Amino acid sequence: VIEMGVPEHSAVTTCAYCGVGCSFKAEMQGDKVVRMVPYKDGKANEGHSCVKGRFAYGYATHKDRITKPMIRETITDPWREVTWAEAIDRAASEFRRIQASYGRDAIGGITSSRCTNEETYLVQKLIRAGFGNNNVDTCARVCHSPTGYGLKVTLGTSAGTQDFRSVAQADVILVIGANPTDGHPVFGSRMKKRLREGARLIVADPRRIDLVKSPHVRADYHLQLKPGANVALINAIAHVVVTEGLVDENYVRTRCDLNDFETWARFIAEVRNSPEAVEEITGVPAADVRAAARLYATGGNAAIYYGLGVTEHSQGSTMVMGMANLAMATGNIGREGVGVNPLRGQNNVQGSCDMGSFPHELPGYRHVSDDATREMFEGLWGVKLQSEPGLRIPNMLDEAVQGRFKGIYIQGEDPAQSDPDTQHVTAGLRAMECVVVQDIFLNETAKYAHVFLPGSSFLEKDGTFTNAERRISRVRKVMSPMAGYADWEVTQLLSNALGYPMSYRHPSEIMDEIAALTPTFSGVSFAKLDQVGSIQWPCNEAAPNGTPMMHVDRFVRGLGKFMITEFVPTEERTGAKFPLILTTGRILSQYNVGAQTRRTENSRWHEEDVLEIHPFDAELRGIADGDLVALESRSGDIAIKARISERMQPGVVYTTFHHAKTGANVITTDYSDWATNCPEYKVTAVQVRRTNRP
Ligand code: SF4
């Protein structure tokens, strides 16, 4: 039983966990939130919520919150509490010193997918205009950057095609590399409702997720592929479509680039792409692939939903393009019940990408080399902008190890825990002369910081988040910032100290600037959001009420573009020493690295990270359920409890990544997506053995 007082007043705001973006009424007594009630008029959740969101307010006032700025000379010194003025001055003077000594490009920053659009916009503006370079990146780098790349190339825009409501019109649902009932529970429930009504289901996943077989839902086909074989599988499905005459010819002729289609169709029809030819690569019986392909192509409205099991691979971008190819070939983009839909992990990962957090793109996904776009920003920002893309996160760390990158500003992000190959990340951070971390807790990255700027939670500021369906929703301040400033105000202080003045009085003014500079946001304002509740971008003169569905009559890029999606095996190989493949995922009650969820009342449903292993592999190694095992890869090793599970296939093990103590990223590789550097978290060759070492 949670103790609650009688609420005195309330405000409608948006959940700060996953990309569903549920609306909540935060009920308050004075300045204290006592309850989060799912908001019935919230368009993303229609009055529903999951256990994470209901208890989210718990972490906002947790005793671990850091409320005083701190500095130290070296990372082995103890922290010293200082005034805001002293902390900001230290950060600014160090950044200036580094640039004077090592050059303008020796510093950069990371924006947060947990912060608001306005805050993210401000950080990238500080870096481009205040630092004078494009060394800005986002944590989307490590999750959905291949979505941005793959969907933009094929369809013309870096976002999902549908709104969540659309699933109610789907006749066939293809879930690839996602676990919606755990990772995106409120949308997962919508999907299950449609499945109970009779929609057919194909799941492509190395693990038997709940959707495959639960009391009320059964998948027609579970394509239990081997990790790393996504592209071979999607090509095999498309091969069936093309060679069995299941292409929607009218759609392709009227909507897509025919030359590209014909080139692609010839490629995909090659025997080497057939389900039989790739059976050994995918591990999926060819007959199942053929049957699933026929169902997808002929079963009516067919919708694809996917997650990090698609993107976090060395061929993440290729796979995104492969799904777009398949959807276009079967005419499944541009109406209700179809589409290619990323299920975004973090609350504002869509927004952080929209806001220009990538080193090659200004807000609105416009390349920094585009003269007209740059001139527009230069006019309003009053500076000359770099036309060359800056460094991505892994490049910043590489350059730091090489002694060429010396300082970083990290807002609301914890790369030391959440990025792959922890040893490499920490080596990069250690090599820097000034690491400035802005967060609500002393996270793992703060161990390598010289300046710590206390952050503000979603309850302490105004702004907007953009969810996985491009829905921009208001975040409303319901309590005063515990450290005195909201995150956007801190960025502004830092910018002013660096000599690039900013003087926004409220986040609504930042949104007005975003709207003035970004055609897809030109119709968005706080006043409008307060009036209509939420809006899906593009929202502009052509679509004043927003755009629930993209690519209706034509693709954003004009004609849909088919891309050749050659399967290239990952360089991560199993062998005698590391014979198993490790893949990773989420559980319902925890969010990402658990920094927030572990500090809320929902820890009563807390589960520790465990290693799921098939009975065959466990018996071979003398491992019993609950045994402590050493999980070892070429990068390192960790200790973890084993859970024997028939959800797994032989040869594949699985764990979640919610706990710093377990440290799953100690053992992940440094391979990454060829186009975007998104890390290949989902394939690591490992060995597992019993151990007594805690
Ligand atoms: Fe909704 Fe996701 Fe928050 Fe759960 S975690 S309440 S599904 S936004």
With a 6 Å cutoff on the Cβ, whether 52 touches ligand 1 is yes
Which carries the bigger pLDDT value, residue 92 or residue 691? 92
CA–centroid distance, 185 to ligand 1, in Å, is 7
Residue 54: predicted pLDDT: 78
With a 6 Å cutoff on the Cβ, whether 186 touches ligand 1 is yes
Residue 243: predicted pLDDT: 98
The string of pLDDT tens digits covering residues 539-562 is 999 999 999 999 999 999 999 999
Q: What is the mean pLDDT of residues 75-81?
A: 97
**Burial class of residue 28, CB neighbours in 10 A (0-12, 13-18, 19+):** buried
The string of pLDDT tens digits covering residues 6-46 is 667 888 999 988 889 999 999 988 778 888 899 999 999 99
Buried b (16+ CB within 10 A) or exposed e, 360-397: bbbbbbbebeeeebbebbeeebeeebbeeebbbbbbbb
Q: What is the mean pLDDT of residues 400-410?
A: 97
- 580-690: CATH topology is Barwin-like endoglucanases (2.40.40)
Residue 589: predicted pLDDT: 65
CA–centroid distance, 38 to ligand 1, in Å, is 10
With a 6 Å cutoff on the Cβ, whether 22 touches ligand 1 is yes
Q: Which residue has the tokens 């990402």?
A: 592
Range with lowest mean pLDDT among 187-191, 496-500, 581-585: 581-585
Strand order through the sheet with 221-223 = 221-223, 200-204, 172-176, 302-306, 339-342
For residue 623, give Cα distances in angstroms to 31, 640, 644. Answer: 52, 12, 8
**Atom from ligand 1 closest to the CA of residue 45:** 1
- Shortest-distance Cα residue to atom 1 of ligand 1: 22
Range with lowest mean pLDDT among 80-89, 126-135, 347-356, 558-567: 347-356
| Distance separating alpha carbons of residues 446 and 443, to the nearest angstrom | 5
| Distance separating alpha carbons of residues 612 and 287, to the nearest angstrom | 28
| Distance separating alpha carbons of residues 477 and 474, to the nearest angstrom | 10
CA–centroid distance, 19 to ligand 1, in Å, is 7
With a 6 Å cutoff on the Cβ, whether 42 touches ligand 1 is no
The string of pLDDT tens digits covering residues 425-446 is 999 999 999 999 999 999 899 9
Q: What is the mean pLDDT of residues 61-76?
A: 93
Nearest to 542 by CA among 530, 554, 529: 554
First to last CA, the chain: 34
| Distance separating alpha carbons of residues 279 and 632, to the nearest angstrom | 28
Contact 313, 321 (CB under 8 A): no
- Shortest-distance Cα residue to atom 4 of ligand 1: 50
Contacts 24+ apart (CB under 8 A), 8-14: 10/37, 11/476, 11/477, 11/478, 12/39, 12/42, 12/474, 12/476, 13/458, 13/459, 13/474, 13/475, 13/476, 13/478, 14/347, 14/458, 14/465, 14/467, 14/473, 14/474, 14/475
The string of pLDDT tens digits covering residues 469-495 is 999 999 999 889 999 999 999 999 999
CA–centroid distance, 49 to ligand 1, in Å, is 6
pLDDT exceeds 60 at position 275: yes
Q: E strands within 320-430?
A: 339-342, 361-362, 366-367, 407-411
- What phi, psi does 495 have (nearest 5°)? -65, -45
Q: Which residue has the tokens 């990238």?
A: 124
Q: Which of 45, 457, 466 most suits a substitution to test ligand 1, by most atoms within 8 Å of the C-beta?
A: 45
- Ordered by start, the domain boundaries in the chain are 70-143+348-536, 145-342, 580-690
Q: Taking the CB of residue 218, how many other CB atoms lie within 10 A of it? A: 12
Residue 635: predicted pLDDT: 85
CA–centroid distance, 14 to ligand 1, in Å, is 9
Which carries the bigger pLDDT value, residue 28 or residue 258? 258
CA–centroid distance, 636 to ligand 1, in Å, is 33
The string of pLDDT tens digits covering residues 599-643 is 777 665 556 788 999 999 999 999 999 999 999 999 888 899 999
| Distance separating alpha carbons of residues 529 and 494, to the nearest angstrom | 29
Q: Which residue has the tokens 């869509």?
A: 350
| Distance separating alpha carbons of residues 681 and 237, to the nearest angstrom | 24
**Atom from ligand 1 closest to the CA of residue 56:** 3
Q: Which of 18, 40, 589 most suits a substitution to test ligand 1, by most atoms within 8 Å of the C-beta?
A: 18
CA–centroid distance, 15 to ligand 1, in Å, is 6
With a 6 Å cutoff on the Cβ, whether 183 touches ligand 1 is no
| Distance separating alpha carbons of residues 264 and 429, to the nearest angstrom | 44
CA–centroid distance, 589 to ligand 1, in Å, is 10
Average pLDDT value over all residues in the chain: 92
C-alpha dihedral sign at 57, 58, 59, 60: positive
CA–centroid distance, 53 to ligand 1, in Å, is 5
| Distance separating alpha carbons of residues 188 and 214, to the nearest angstrom | 13
DSSP 23-91: EEEEEEETTEEEEEEE-TT-TTTTT---HHHHTTHHHHT-TT---S-EE-SSTTSPPEE--HHHHHHHH
Residue 338: predicted pLDDT: 97
| Distance separating alpha carbons of residues 129 and 134, to the nearest angstrom | 9
Which carries the bigger pLDDT value, residue 417 or residue 264? 264
With a 6 Å cutoff on the Cβ, whether 49 touches ligand 1 is yes
**Atom from ligand 1 closest to the CA of residue 591:** 5
498: tokens are 């660096």
Q: What is the ipTM of this complex?
A: 0.99
- Residues contacting residue 493 through CB under 8 Å, at least 6 positions apart: 84, 88, 485
With a 6 Å cutoff on the Cβ, whether 188 touches ligand 1 is no
The string of pLDDT tens digits covering residues 95-113 is 999 999 999 999 999 999 8
CA atoms within 13 A on the CB side of 221: 23
Q: Which of 14, 20, 473 most suits a substitution to test ligand 1, by most atoms within 8 Å of the C-beta?
A: 20
Q: Is 99 helix (H, G, I), strand (E, B) or coil?
A: helix
Nearest to 658 by CA among 614, 596, 602: 596
The string of pLDDT tens digits covering residues 644-666 is 999 999 999 998 866 656 666 67
For residue 348, give Cα distances in angstroms to 46, 52, 352, 449, 579. Answer: 19, 16, 6, 25, 37
Q: Which of 54, 55, 186, 466 most suits a substitution to test ligand 1, by most atoms within 8 Å of the C-beta?
A: 186
DSSP 189-221: HHHHHHHHTT-EEEEE-SS--GGGB-SS-B-SE
With a 6 Å cutoff on the Cβ, whether 141 touches ligand 1 is no
Residue 9: predicted pLDDT: 81
With a 6 Å cutoff on the Cβ, whether 15 touches ligand 1 is yes
Residue 3: predicted pLDDT: 44
With a 6 Å cutoff on the Cβ, whether 21 touches ligand 1 is yes
CA–centroid distance, 191 to ligand 1, in Å, is 15
The string of pLDDT tens digits covering residues 218-237 is 999 999 999 999 999 999 99
Residue 143: predicted pLDDT: 76
- 70-143+348-536: CATH topology is Rossmann fold (3.40.50)
The alpha carbon of residue 572 and the mean position of all alpha carbons in its chain are separated, in whole angstroms, by 23
Q: Which of 14, 17, 55, 348 most suits a substitution to test ligand 1, by most atoms within 8 Å of the C-beta?
A: 17
Residue 366: predicted pLDDT: 94
Provide the residue count of the chain: 694
**Atom from ligand 1 closest to the CA of residue 21:** 8
| Distance separating alpha carbons of residues 494 and 497, to the nearest angstrom | 5
Strand order through the sheet with 136-138 = 80-81, 70-71, 451-454, 434-439, 407-411, 107-111, 136-138
Q: What is the mean pLDDT of residues 553-574?
A: 96
Residue 543: predicted pLDDT: 94
Q: What is the mean pLDDT of residues 332-353?
A: 91
- Shortest-distance Cα residue to atom 3 of ligand 1: 53
- Shortest-distance Cα residue to atom 2 of ligand 1: 18
Query: What single-letter amino acid sits at 638?
Result: I
Q: Which of 49, 164, 191, 347 most suits a substitution to test ligand 1, by most atoms within 8 Å of the C-beta?
A: 49
pLDDT exceeds 80 at position 496: yes
Q: What is the mean pLDDT of residues 124-129?
A: 98
With a 6 Å cutoff on the Cβ, whether 185 touches ligand 1 is yes
Query: What single-letter amino acid sits at 617?
Result: D
CA–centroid distance, 414 to ligand 1, in Å, is 21
| Distance separating alpha carbons of residues 164 and 45, to the nearest angstrom | 9
**Atom from ligand 1 closest to the CA of residue 20:** 8
With a 6 Å cutoff on the Cβ, whether 16 touches ligand 1 is no
Which carries the bigger pLDDT value, residue 49 or residue 354? 354
Q: Taking the CB of residue 141, how many other CB atoms lie within 10 A of it? A: 26
With a 6 Å cutoff on the Cβ, whether 50 touches ligand 1 is yes
With a 6 Å cutoff on the Cβ, whether 20 touches ligand 1 is yes
- Residues contacting residue 66 through CB under 8 Å, at least 6 positions apart: 439, 440, 441, 442, 452, 454, 483
- 145-342: CATH topology is Dimethylsulfoxide Reductase; domain 2 (3.40.228)
